[in-house]
Amino acid sequence: MLLMRHASAGERRGSPERDRTRRLDAAGRADARALPAAFAEIEIDWIVTSPTARCVSTVLALARRRGIEIECREEIGPDATRKEILDLLAELPEHTLVCTHREVFERVFRDKVTCEKGGTWILERNCRRRVPAAVAYLPPPSNVVSTKQDVRPPARAPRQAPARARRSVADSR
């Protein structure tokens, strides 16, 4: 399973209602357009996203390219509870791409895993553990220098995205 943070969408809007309609900015649109090529070698049979505009827009080009319908679920929205998120992740098929928000990463991994905008963690489920393990990080397409995407092994506890992403997460709060 892939757990992705939506691509760059500029600054938060004043209210949660207005923020739901926030669109991708130029950098986010570029990452969204590059996603089909970046994930070309990854098996994805299902795409589930938060219903916010920025999440849907992040995966739209990939879904169209693969002919996959996007399923929008509130259980991975920015206000979802940890239980709602984990219940949904447990029911999804193995080859699912889930596009969501920083807040979801914080709740699921209790701040032990970070993810920059447009970044993706490969998750591994273990039937004895409720929380999937983040086993490898895929940076946003705009951060990949070569034409081949390298899967980086996760850092030792706590697992974190690159330093640049940690700064951008702190800046976006």
Domain range summary for the chain, segments of one domain joined by +: 2-172
Measured CA to CA, the distance from residue 17 to residue 98 in angstroms comes to 22
Which pLDDT does position 168 carry in this prediction?
Answer: 42
Residue with token string 């899967």: 151
C-alpha 130 chain-centroid distance: 19
Per-residue pLDDT of the chain (173 residues; tens, 9 = 90+): 999 999 999 777 676 676 677 889 999 999 999 999 999 999 999 999 999 999 999 999 999 999 999 999 999 999 999 999 999 999 999 999 999 999 999 999 998 999 999 999 999 988 767 889 999 999 999 887 544 444 555 444 445 555 554 444 444 44
Cβ neighbours of 147 (radius 10 Å): 6
- Pairing type for strands 133-138 and 120-124 reads antiparallel
Measured CA to CA, the distance from residue 121 to residue 151 in angstroms comes to 10
Which pLDDT does position 16 carry in this prediction?
Answer: 67
The separation between the first and the last C-alpha atoms of the chain, rounded to the nearest angstrom, is 27
C-alpha 105 chain-centroid distance: 8
Which pLDDT does position 6 carry in this prediction?
Answer: 96
CATH of 2-172, one of 3.40.50.1240, 3.30.9.10, 3.40.50.2300, 3.10.20.30: 3.40.50.1240
Which pLDDT does position 30 carry in this prediction?
Answer: 96
